[in-house]
Homo-oligomer: A and B are copies of this chain.
Amino acid sequence: MPGNSFGHTFRLTTWGESHGPGVGCTVDGCPAGLALDEAQIQHELDRRRVGQSKVSSQRQEPDRVQIMSGVFEGQTTGAPISMLVLNSDAKSSHYTAIKDLYRPGHADYSWDAKYGLRDWRGGGRSSARETIGRVAGGAIAKLLLAQVGVRIVGYTLQLGDLRATQIDEAEIERNIMRCPDPVVAEAMIARVDQARRDLDSLGGVVEIRARGVPPGLGEPVFDKLQADIGKAMFSIPAIKGVEIGEGFGVANLRGSQNNDPFIRREDGTIGTLSNHHGGILGGISTGEEIIVRLAAKPTPSIAQAQPTVDREGNPTSIEVHGRHDPTVLPRLVPVAEAMLALVLADHLLRQRAARVSYP
């Protein structure tokens, strides 16, 4: 089973290398009858695009999506939706000099160990450009989820020891860090600027929330909702930690503190008084907000000299020049949103097979 597909019933397959002709994806399993146009997908791609600000890479590409199939007269048909984005600003020259060196923190060595060869131009398949297909597929997933009232929002929560102290969603897209706290956002931007001047990079934490998720999504045992979310998030480049709800904080809680009492809400439905559980119990959504945090490592491509070896193991030194983000956080936000949307869309459809009949 090859590894370039995600999801069982709503299924995304991505392809493409950083410096090849283009990147793209196929969404298979999108139900028929969903209103869809390229502008909606383009909007999400524009959110992840590079060259947007001083905290991101300066690579300039329009990343124009073309829908190649699966849509007819503005609606999905049930056929696979193929999407294509041509590459236009690939500069392989940065990479020629270092093609035989193993960049620290990168996949060069492990890829060689697996395949015996690799496309070294711009990181090849391991480039972050691969996430274009995820964002395009996630855009369709978001549209499907919107039909049942699900809304996903993400933001930069933490950079180093700087952590947002308020979550004002209106602020998120107003600053280049996508931080929901405007004061902390300013401090984060200054911190990134300094790291760039130091030829260095920074890690941090992104938080994603999904509201309006109907209770009942997720499969018990191996395909628990948090298991598929965990897989989705850890499949994003640079992610080293994932939390649901209280996350690692549960290590410091007693059961009497961590348990969320069930209540009857004013509308008569059942919910919980608190939300330590982060919207999932026993692998199945409860209807409470789903809360996910993911830790992203500092971009491994830095322009300062680092010790390493070449393919034969000879010690040497490397400086990774090129157009790299000093922090991936703001561009990670739409990618992580897309992955959460893909998981929820998949389980929304899978849930339809859970009962012989529905009331």
Stretch among A39-47, A53-61, A115-123 lining the B interface: A115-123
Taking A115-B355, A231-B234 as known contacts, 12 extra A-B pairs with beta carbons closer than 8 A to each other, sorted by chain A number, are A78-B115, A107-B284, A130-B221, A201-B255, A203-B253, A227-B231, A230-B233, A237-B282, A240-B245, A255-B298, A255-B299, A276-B297
Question: What are 30 A-B pairs at a CB distance below 8 A?
Answer: A1-B223, A13-B13, A13-B28, A13-B80, A14-B221, A15-B82, A22-B69, A24-B82, A32-B356, A76-B356, A77-B118, A79-B220, A107-B281, A109-B262, A110-B282, A110-B285, A113-B216, A113-B287, A114-B216, A158-B251, A200-B255, A205-B251, A224-B235, A227-B231, A228-B231, A235-B283, A240-B244, A249-B295, A255-B297, A256-B304
List the B side residues contacting A106 at CB < 8 Å.
281-282
Say yes or no: A252-B308 contact (C-beta < 8 A), given A33-B355, A235-B221, A350-B1. Answer: no
Number of copies: 4
Cα(A126)–Cα(B219), bound, Å:
11
Most buried by B among A8, A203, A246, A249: A203
Residue in B closest to A28 when the chains form the complex, CB atoms: B2
A178 within 8 A of B: no
Distance between A293 CB and nearest chain B CB, rounded to angstroms: 8
Contact A33 B254 (CB under 8 A): no
Please name all residues of chain B whose beta carbon is closer than 8 Å to the beta carbon of A244 when the two chains form the complex: 234, 240-241
For chain A, residues 40 to 89, give those with C-beta under 8 angstroms from any C-beta of chain B: 66, 68-70, 72, 75-82, 84
B contact residues around A212 at 8 Å (CB): none
A163 to chain B, nearest CB (A): 9
Contact status of A298 and B253, CB under 8 A, knowing A80-B13, A286-B110, A287-B113? yes
Does any Cβ of B come within 8 Å of A16's Cβ? yes
B13 touches A26 (CB 8 A): yes
- The one of B2, B102, B299 that contacts A29, using a Cβ cutoff of 8 Å: B2
The interface stretch among A164-172, A179-187, A263-271, A330-338 is A263-271
A204 within 8 A of B: yes
Cα A86 to Cα B219 with chains together (Å): 24
The 9 A-B residue pairs whose C-beta atoms are closest, nearest first, are A107-B282, A3-B219, A3-B223, A2-B29, A110-B284, A201-B255, A231-B231, A230-B234, A113-B215
